[in-house]
Structure 1
Amino acid sequence: MSSANPGVPPLIVMGVQGCGKSTSGRAIAEALSLPFIDGDDLHPLSNKAKMASGHPLTDADREPWLAAIGTALAEGLSRGQSTVIACSALKRRYRDLIRSFAPRTRFVHLAGNRGLIAERLSHRNHEYMPPALLDSQFETLEPLEADEAGIPVDINLTPEEIAAVVATALTSR
């Protein structure tokens, strides 16, 4: 709904930690001339502290965060602008909650194998997401279902290639 890209829906770049949501999300936003928000920035301090201590979030912990993400998408749309947000969105019910704020939202699922992601995590130092939480992320992950508006993308691609795949998928529909 941006003037540069009328009809481009709000996008959530989703997946487990270390799959490249923020980096690829920025590349997608740049390719589509849309604003980008890192969903990590919308977590309350209590969530960040819990994850930093090595404890996975509960659904109750995530609910206000997911509502903040949905609100950010809806606020963008109210200004006539779609937004790209990096957000794990691991469960269907999380995605449904986000869609309750912005029904046209499309989900870009950055998918890859655990070994590759664990390797990537060994080379980064995240503010509050220790690599020890990777297993809980994979246990929680519910891949996109056939009735969900989504674009699955292989994380073996570069962020620029991921952005090109997403742009092509959005314009070919």
Structure 2
Amino acid sequence: MAEAGPHDPVVLVVTGVSGSGKSTVASLLAELLGLPFADGDDFHTRESVARMRAGHPLDDEARAPWLARIRAWIDARLEAEEGGVVACSALKRGYRRTLIGDREDVRIVYLEGSRDLIGRRIAARRGHFMPAGLLDSQFAALEPPGPDENPIVVGIEDGPDAIVAAVAARLGRTPGDACG
């Protein structure tokens, strides 16, 4: 799969387990690149949020309409030739296939981190609906992207600014160099 050019519309799907920093990194990346940002959490129904808040992971059936709403957002960004950045766990290969398909103008950014580091981050955060008790189910469901998915894989040990800089460098972008 070829890299998109510096000025081609591109949608980045920032993935990883809960607590890996998806929303923070995706919003900073969108700001850096001058692209619209969407948080996958905002596409969940109230019922799904309540289910997760109660400590119950979503199954594939409950995730399907959520993924369809995110895919529609991605499609709208591409149709408008604007690009965008969306934070979405997309833990399984099938979920990513639903979101991305075989489109070269949609790229995965996978935030990779250890269970220990992410567990500490989740324990320290406040006000999020995803309880720490669901982290194990996140790792159990996780199918890290393979080379055939052409992911940009970035470790999360460094802070968000370093992660964003690494992603931008892999894209051949610099601050203010909008994708769309």
The two structures have a TM-score, normalised by structure 1, of 0.92
- Counterpart of 1:17, as a letter, is S
Q: Secondary structure at the match of 2:166?
A: helix
Q: How far is the alpha carbon of 1:45 from its aligned partner?
A: 1.3
Runs of 4+ in 1 over 6 A off after TM superposition: none
Spell out, residue by residue over 1:57-87, the C-alpha distance to the aligned partner (whole angstroms, 9 max, x if none): 0001101101111110110111111110000
For residues 1-173 of structure 1, the aligned pairs below 5 Å read 6-100=7-101, 104-171=105-172
Residue ranges of structure 1 left out of the alignment (5+ in a row): none
Cα 1:101–1:62 change in 2 (3 A) is farther
1:136 and 1:109 mapped to 2: Cα distance? 18
In structure 2, the CA distance between the partners of 1:39 and 1:118, relative to structure 1 (3 Å rule), is same
In structure 2, distance between residues paired with 1:75 and 1:103: 16
With over 3 angstroms needed to count, the CA separation of the structure-2 counterparts of 1:11 and 1:92, relative to structure 1, is same
Instruction: Mark the CA change 1:102 to 1:43 in structure 2 (over 3 Å): closer, same or farther.
Output: farther
Count, aligned residues: 168
Higher relative contact order (CA 8 A, sep 6+): 2
Give, as a single letter, the amino acid of the residue that structure 2 aligns with 1:144: P
Aligned partner letter, 2:40: G
Identity among equivalent pairs (%): 45
User: What amino acid is aligned across from residue 131 of structure 2 in structure 1?
Assistant: P
In the other structure, the counterpart of 2:176 is none
Cα deviation 1:110-159 (Å, max 9, x = unaligned): 01101111111111124320000000000000001110021000101211
The two structures have a TM-score, normalised by structure 2, of 0.89
1:90–1:141 Cα contact (<8 Å) kept: yes
1:44 deviation in Å? 1.1
Contact 1:51 1:128 in 2 (8 A): yes
Q: Distance in 1 between matches of 2:74 and 2:12?
A: 8
2:17 and 2:142 in contact (8 A); partners too: yes
Q: Secondary structure at the match of 1:107?
A: strand
On the 8 A contact 1:14/1:86 being kept in 2, the answer is: yes
